[in-house]
Each structure stands twice: as structure tokens, then as C-alpha cells.
């Protein structure tokens, strides 16, 4: 039986997309842009969309539940002016306000970060109800760290829910591994 050439073409292009992403890397596609990232050992990878369910996101959960990493590309969602250092800080403040109000810190304390050609800002917030807990209940997180980072000229919103420093360190590792490639036609993991 012969397959129509369009079907064969589809499978050939899909195979090319998957062949380009090594097993230790995941990928998502946003507005025809493929974004790849490192899959961390001990973390499960899913692509449920951001918390509003509207956009693809990088979503990793540590097997023991100690941390969750959610990195949402803001491709096509922000104005060019937001990509400046001042714009990044303004976005971070806007995304962080909900966490700052009820936190131990009580306000957004921005910290800047950069690596290679990437840069951004982040802030961490501590849950006052869990601060004195010896063992954090399952599904709860002592800290949330929110960051806005410019990677390969595009902005990403990172939300890291964690109970220990290692969760934050792993999130930084994933952020540093993000690569953007033009073109893409498939959602993936």
C-alpha cells in the first residue's frame, strides 16, 4: 500500500524534530519556536501548560515532591521594552506581588542573575506558616522563587516551589540549559 506523499512528508519532518532532541533534553514549541532544556535525573517532565492552561511550559517535579520547577516562555506576550533590565524588574515585581504580601519577607527583594548572554532577576519568598515546621507536609513548599530571565533574546517566567536549596540549584541548572531554535511544529516533552 502506498502512503500519500504528504503523510510521508509529515512523518519525515516529525522524525527530524524528535531526532534533533537528545534523550537527556526535553522540548516544547511556542509560536513556531522550539525550546529545549535539560531533563534532570530524579525529576518527572510534563507539559501541562502554564497555570492558566493557555501556554506551553517546562514543568519538572522532583520525585520526592521537594521541588517543582515551572518555566513559562513569554514569547509574543510582552512588549520589547519589557526585555530591558528595568522592564524585567517591573515584570518580576508584578508576578511576585501575590507571593510577597503573605511572606516572611513581606516585600519583593530583587536579586540580579546572569550567565553567558542571559540575564534576569529573581526574588524568593518564605511561607510563614511553614517556617518553623521540621517536616514540610507533602504538597506544600517552604519557599517559592519567582524569576524573569532573558535567554537568547526571549523572556521566561520561572516559578520554583522548593523546600531546600537543592531545588533552587536544580532550577538554575535547567534555566542555564534552555536553548531556543527557530522553527518547530510539534509539542513535546
Rg of the chain over Cα atoms, rounded to whole angstroms, equals 18
Cα 90 to Cα 25: distance, rounded to the nearest angstrom: 31
Better-predicted residue by pLDDT, 185 or 57 = 57
Q: Which tens digits make up the pLDDT trace of 140-176?
A: 999 999 999 999 889 999 999 998 877 888 888 898 9
Distances (CA, A) of 33 to 17, 36, 44, 116, 168: 12, 10, 23, 21, 26
Mean pLDDT for the stretch of residues 77-101: 92
Distances (CA, A) of 155 to 3, 74, 112, 121: 42, 5, 15, 11
Q: What share of the chain is helix, strand, coil (3-state, %, to 5)?
A: 25, 35, 40
Q: Is the pLDDT of residue 1 over 70?
A: no
Q: Is the distance from CB of 122 to CB of 114 less than 8 angstroms?
A: no
pTM of the model: 0.79
Amino acid at each position: 500500500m502506498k502512503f500519500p506523499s504528504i503523510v510521508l512528508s509529515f512523518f519525515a519532518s516529525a522524525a527530524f524534530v524528535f531526532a534533533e532532541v537528545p534523550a537527556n533534553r526535553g522540548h516544547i514549541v511556542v509560536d513556531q519556536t522550539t525550546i529545549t532544556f535539560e531533563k534532570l535525573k530524579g525529576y518527572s517532565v510534563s507539559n501541562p501548560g502554564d497555570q492558566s492552561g493557555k501556554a506551553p511550559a517546562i514543568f519538572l517535579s522532583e520525585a520526592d515532591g521537594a521541588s517543582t520547577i515551572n518555566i513559562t516562555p513569554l514569547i509574543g506576550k510582552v512588549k520589547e521594552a519589557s526585555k530591558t533590565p528595568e522592564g524585567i524588574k517591573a515584570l518580576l515585581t508584578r508576578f511576585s506581588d501575590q507571593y510577597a504580601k503573605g511572606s516572611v519577607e513581606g516585600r519583593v527583594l530583587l536579586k540580579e542573575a546572569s550567565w553567558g548572554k542571559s540575564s534576569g532577576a529573581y526574588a524568593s519568598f518564605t511561607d510563614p506558616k511553614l517556617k518553623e515546621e521540621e517536616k514540610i507536609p507533602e504538597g506544600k513548599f517552604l519557599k517559592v522563587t519567582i524569576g524573569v530571565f532573558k535567554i537568547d533574546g526571549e523572556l521566561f517566567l520561572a516559578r520554583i516551589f522548593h523546600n531546600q536549596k537543592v531545588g533552587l540549584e536544580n532550577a538554575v541548572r535547567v534555566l542555564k540549559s534552555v536553548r531556543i531554535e527557530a522553527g518547530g511544529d510539534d509539542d513535546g516533552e
